[in-house]
Each structure stands twice: as structure tokens, then as C-alpha cells.
């Protein structure tokens, strides 16, 4: 049975009900279920929900837990330790987000069978400068390749990007000479500035990023990029949980408060495909419009309707499949995230050198 992420947009009480997950609106939790709700729960237990129905719609819901890959709470949620125990038993991470849609944190269930060898090797690779630099550089090779793939594809289709390709090559040529993590991060910043110039040229005239701003985003393009970055970050955290890698130990990004460096490392590789690529598609196809954003004292942000549109588009993208060249079968974009973690595990254990994900289609 395929699983999908579950998103909560309204204040609810989240509770276990037998083998289902119950979502009950505030104020209705301390009463017996109405007949219609009981029937809905029985149907949910008997029949799996279609993927398109696994969205909060504002009425009591009972969702088969076997359909849930992870939970994303974009609104206030009440829960108890019994529910947390249920999520741990089913190995379901719970991600929370702040008012602006930014990632806040994750309830990370206990690993089913902790693998001390993997985490020991991960710590050792981080502690040895040469090994860490090797992995950090390879992560950037994948990220740079995927940026180049997008620019060169558009150059072949429409032209007018040859200057960006030349600038990109100049910046990337410095990668192999880098002798420190700080130097790599400097090169990454320069390459990404070229890529953001490409992004601005690809967007319709009504949308321009101009310059990347973060806290807070100052326009719709920056707001959309930040929102999708948070979604990709949470999706990678969910997949890392299944690989038994420790997300607190990255190789390109330093450990810090309120973030998992390893998730940021892998996000660098997939952002050209799953963030900037989706930004271009959503805006140029007018699936997201100016009225899906709102201005506040904290800058520009997606409104509720805009968030739902973006989340739906992101989930559809994660469900896309591609024929994997090495595995010889179709895998989803979501699965590509986990496979990247498995490749790191093989490298850390000395089984196979890590080669970062590169778009081949």
C-alpha cells in the first residue's frame, strides 16, 4: 500500500483511534462520535484513502495509519504521549511549522534497530578534514551538475543563456582546487548567484527575485523558494530517519542550532529539481498567482490558499517516477532522497565511493 505525507492546516486534536489516526476539530474532542463520524472511521479502516483525499478538509477525519509516511502540522495540534507512542511504533515522523510556514522541528521516533557502525563512521568522517572535504566537494559536484543541467537545457531550447553558462563554468572550475570547507561554501555561494540570475530570466515579468532574501522574504519569489526549501528539508529528514544516518552530522554544513546539517547537505543536490524547477513551473504556468501571497510586518508570505496549492504540487512532484539507471526499475522522486542516504551509508562503511545524484534525463 503506497504511503503519502499527511498535512494538517486547521487546529485539531490528534489522537489514536484503534489503528487509525483521528483528527478532531477543537471543541469536539470531548464527546461521543456522531453516527456519520463512526461510519467514516469504519470506512477508513476498511478502505485505504486515495492519495488525493489524504488532505485535511475541516471535518473529523479517521485516516488509516498505514497510509501515512509522515505528518506535517501547519497549524496548532493537541496530542498526548499515547499518540507519540503510536507514531513511534509506526515509525512516523511529525514535522511542525511556524505561522509563516517555516520549518520548526521534528518529533523523531526512536530508531527501530540502531546501527552504531553507521553513526560511528559518520562521526569519524566528519572529524577527519580530508574525508569530510572529499564528501563535501562531491555533494557540490552533484548540486552544480543539476544547476548546469537546467541552464543548458534552456539554452538548447531558447538560447540567451550562454553568458550564464560561461560564468557558471568559471566559478565551478575553482571547486577542485578548494582546500577547505569555507572555500567550498564560498564557491557554492558564487555558483548559486549565477543560478538565481538564470531563475530570474526564466520567470514571467510580473515575478522577479532580484536578490535572494531570507529572514524575511521580501517578495513572492523569495517567499516561494523559502517555503519549498522548508518542505524539501522536512522530506529529506523523513527519509534520513529510514537510513539510520544521524541528521545532526553533515559534511558541507556545520552543526548548529535549530537545523539538521545533513539534511541541508542533501537539499543542495535536489533543490534545482525540486525547488527552483517547481518555482518556475508554478509561476510561469500561473498555478500560483499574485493573490496567493500576502504582505505583513514580517515580509512576504504565502497565504493559506497559496500554501495548499504549493504543498499539493510538491507532493505530486515527490510522487513522480523515473526509470533508475542502476536499479533498472522506476523509483519516485521521494525514493531518490532515501537512495542518496543509502549511498552515503555505503561510502561511510567503505563499501562503495559516494557519487552524488546527477540528473540524467
For 271-313, give the DSSP string: HIIIIIHHHHHHHHTTSS-GGGEEEETTEEEE-HHHHHHHHHH
- How many independent structural domains does the chain possess? 2
Residues spanned by the domain of 10? 4-92
- Residue 357 inside a domain? The answer is no
| Rounded alpha-carbon distances, angstroms, from residue 211 to 47, 198, 217, 251, 332 | 49, 12, 10, 27, 32
- Give the span between the Cα atoms of 8 and 259, in whole angstroms: 22
Are 137 and 217 found together in one domain? yes
Are 132 and 85 found together in one domain? no
Four-CA torsion 114, 116, 122, 126, nearest 10 degrees = 120
- Give the span between the Cα atoms of 181 and 193, in whole angstroms: 19
Instruction: Tell me the sheet residues that pair with 78.
Output: 13
Are 71 and 126 found together in one domain? no
Q: Any idea what the Cα angle at residue 185 is, between residues 348 and 232, rounded to 5°?
A: 70
Per-residue pLDDT, 2: 67
Cβ neighbourhood burial of 94 (10 Å; 0-12, 13-18, 19+): buried
- Give the span between the Cα atoms of 177 and 170, in whole angstroms: 13
Per-residue pLDDT, 170: 92
- List per-residue pLDDT tens for the chain, 361 residues long: 567 788 888 888 888 888 888 888 776 655 554 444 444 444 444 434 344 444 444 455 778 888 888 999 988 889 988 889 999 888 899 999 887 788 888 888 876 666 789 999 999 999 999 999 999 999 999 999 999 999 999 999 988 899 999 999 999 999 999 999 999 999 999 999 999 999 999 998 889 998 898 878 999 999 999 999 999 999 999 999 889 899 999 999 988 766 799 999 999 999 999 999 999 999 999 999 999 999 877 789 999 889 989 998 999 999 999 999 889 899 999 999 999 999 999 999 999 999 999 999 8
Closest CA to 82 of 149, 169, 12, 17: 17
Are 36 and 173 found together in one domain? no
Are 152 and 50 found together in one domain? no
Cβ neighbourhood burial of 216 (10 Å; 0-12, 13-18, 19+): middle
Are 154 and 82 found together in one domain? no
**pTM to 2 decimal places:** 0.85
Are 56 and 127 found together in one domain? no
- Residue 135 inside a domain? The answer is yes
- Residue 14 inside a domain? The answer is yes
- Residue 104 inside a domain? The answer is no
What are the backbone angles phi and psi of residue 353, rounded to the nearest 5°?
A: -60, 140
Asked whether the CA dihedral 168, 170, 173, 179 is positive or negative, the reply is negative
Residues 130 and 108 sit within 8 Å (Cβ to Cβ): no
Are 68 and 124 found together in one domain? no
Which parts of the chain fold into alpha helices (H)?
35-46, 81-90, 116-127, 129-158, 162-172, 181-202, 220-243, 261-271, 277-284, 304-319, 333-348
Which letter, b or e, does each residue of 43-65 get, where b requires 16 or more Cβ atoms within 10 Å of its Cβ? ebeeebbeeeebbbeeebbbbbb
Are 127 and 65 found together in one domain? no
What are the backbone angles phi and psi of residue 188, rounded to the nearest 5°?
A: -60, -40
Instruction: Tell me the sheet residues that pair with 12.
Output: 25, 77
Per-residue pLDDT, 35: 44
Are 77 and 191 found together in one domain? no
Are 138 and 210 found together in one domain? yes
| Rounded alpha-carbon distances, angstroms, from residue 12 to 77, 134, 300, 336 | 5, 46, 27, 32
- Residue 308 inside a domain? The answer is yes
Residues 168 and 148 sit within 8 Å (Cβ to Cβ): yes
Residues 247 and 262 sit within 8 Å (Cβ to Cβ): yes
Amino acid at each position: 500500500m503506497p504511503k503519502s505525507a499527511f498535512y494538517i492546516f486547521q487546529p485539531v486534536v490528534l489522537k489514536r483511534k484503534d489503528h487509525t489516526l483521528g483528527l478532531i476539530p477543537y471543541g469536539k474532542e470531548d464527546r461521543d462520535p456522531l453516527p456519520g463520524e463512526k461510519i467514516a472511521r469504519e470506512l477508513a479502516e476498511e478502505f485505504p484513502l486515495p492519495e488525493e483525499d489524504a488532505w485535511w478538509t475541516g471535518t473529523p477525519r479517521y485516516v488509516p495509519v498505514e497510509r501515512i509516511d509522515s505528518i506535517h502540522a501547519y497549524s496548532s495540534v493537541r496530542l498526548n504521549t499515547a499518540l507519540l507512542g503510536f507514531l513511534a511504533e509506526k515509525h512516523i515522523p511529525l514535522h511542525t511549522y511556524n505561522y509563516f510556514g517555516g520549518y520548526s522541528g521534528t518529533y523523531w521516533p526512536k530508531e527501530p534497530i540502531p546501527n552504531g557502525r553507521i553513526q560511528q563512521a559518520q562521526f569519524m568522517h566528519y572529524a577527519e578534514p580530508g574525508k569530510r572535504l572529499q564528501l563535501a566537494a562531491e555533494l557540490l559536484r552533484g548540486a552544480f551538475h543539476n544547476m548546469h543541467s537546467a541552464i543548458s537545457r534552456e539554452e538548447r531550447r531558447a538560447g540567451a543563456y550562454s553568458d550564464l553558462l560561461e560564468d557558471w563554468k568559471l566559478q565551478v572550475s575553482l571547486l577542485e582546487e578548494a582546500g577547505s570547507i569555507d572555500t567550498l561554501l564560498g564557491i557554492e555561494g558564487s555558483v548559486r548567484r549565477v543560478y538565481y540570475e538564470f531563475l530570474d530570466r526564466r520567470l514571467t515579468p510580473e515575478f522577479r527575485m532580484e536578490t535572494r532574501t531570507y529572514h524575511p522574504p521580501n517578495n513572492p519569489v523569495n517567499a516561494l523558494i523559502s517555503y519549498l526549501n522548508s518542505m524539501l528539508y522536512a522530506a529529506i529528514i523523513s527519509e534520513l530517519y529510514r537510513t539510520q544516518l544521524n541528521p545532526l552530522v553533515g559534511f558541507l554544513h556545520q552543526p548548529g542550532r535549530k537545523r539538521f546539517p545533513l539534511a541541508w547537505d542533501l537539499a543542495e543536490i535536489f533543490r534545482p529539481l525540486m525547488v527552483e524547477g517547481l518555482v518556475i513551473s508554478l509561476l510561469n504556468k500561473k498555478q500560483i498567482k499574485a493573490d496567493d501571497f500576502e504582505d505583513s510586518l514580517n515580509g512576504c508570505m504565502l497565504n493559506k490558499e497559496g500554501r495548499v496549492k504549493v504543498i499539493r504540487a510538491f507532493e505530486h512532484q515527490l510522487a513522480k517516477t523515473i526509470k533508475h539507471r542502476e536499479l533498472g526499475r522506476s523509483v519516485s522522486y521521494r525514493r531518490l532522497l532515501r537512495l542518496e542516504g543509502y549511498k552515503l551509508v555505503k561510502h561511510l562503511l567503505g563499501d562503495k565511493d559516494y557519487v552524488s545524484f546527477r540528473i540524467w534525463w
